[in-house]
Amino acid sequence: MYEAVDIAALVSPEYLARLNAPTPATGAALEHFRNTSRAVCRIVQSVGISTGGYMLAMRLDAPAEQGAAMCRYLCDDAFPRVIARTGVVACHLYEADSSASYVNTAESSTRQFDVPAWVLLCEASTAGAAESVKDAIDEHRLANLGVAARNDAAVYAFEICQLSSALHC
């Protein structure tokens, strides 16, 4: 996961040039990736004040006309319940930008395009707390709203790396 100040940076000629000329190290690393998505997203809602060591990632697909109802459920009901759980420190809901996500590059040719319409991320201090979030998100309620929660939700160990020009060796 990468953060950018503006989506325009992720479709800029400079960024696309990097994706069209992956280094040998990138190519070697990509061989080990599975179940990947390259969804360029805008943040819709974020609650919490910390970064966890673990993250639950859920991919959601919803018809455009159900997006607002899904957001209300997640932001007004599910997120407050989830963030109250011990060990859960933040919840985020992102909406994919299709035009920025479906860009053909040399890097993207190494995998299938998978761009979920929505991405839900919940950060936690333990893997167990992150895993417990799946139980707190009412998938039946999402289904009643026409939202499909994919069955590939997973908890990841979170490694934070901040690049800076002020690095000294």
Query: Average pLDDT in the 117-136 region?
Result: 93
The one-letter code for the residue type at 129 is: A
pTM: 0.81
| pLDDT, average across residues 130-157 | 89
Q: What is the DSSP letter of 73?
A: I
Q: Indicate the DSSP class of residue 153.
A: -
Which of 126, 120, 154 lies closest to 138, judged by CA?
120
- The domain ranges of the chain are 7-157
- Report how far residue 89's alpha carbon sits from residue 108's, in angstroms, rounded to the nearest whole number: 33
Query: 7-157: which CATH number, 3.40.50.970, 3.40.50.2000, 3.30.70.100, 3.30.499.10?
Result: 3.30.70.100
pLDDT band at 169 (very low <50, low <70, confident <90, very high): very low
Per residue in 55-70, pLDDT tens? 999 999 998 899 999 9
- Distance in angstroms (rounded) separating the CA atoms of residues 100 and 102: 6
Burial class (CB within 10 angstroms; exposed 0-12, middle 13-18, buried 19+) of 31:
exposed
Residues 6+ apart with CB under 8 A from 84: none
Q: Would you say residue 46 has pLDDT above 70?
A: yes
Supply the pLDDT for residue 161: 59
CB 121 within 8 A of CB 57: yes
Let me know: does 55 contact 122? Beta carbons within 8 Å: yes
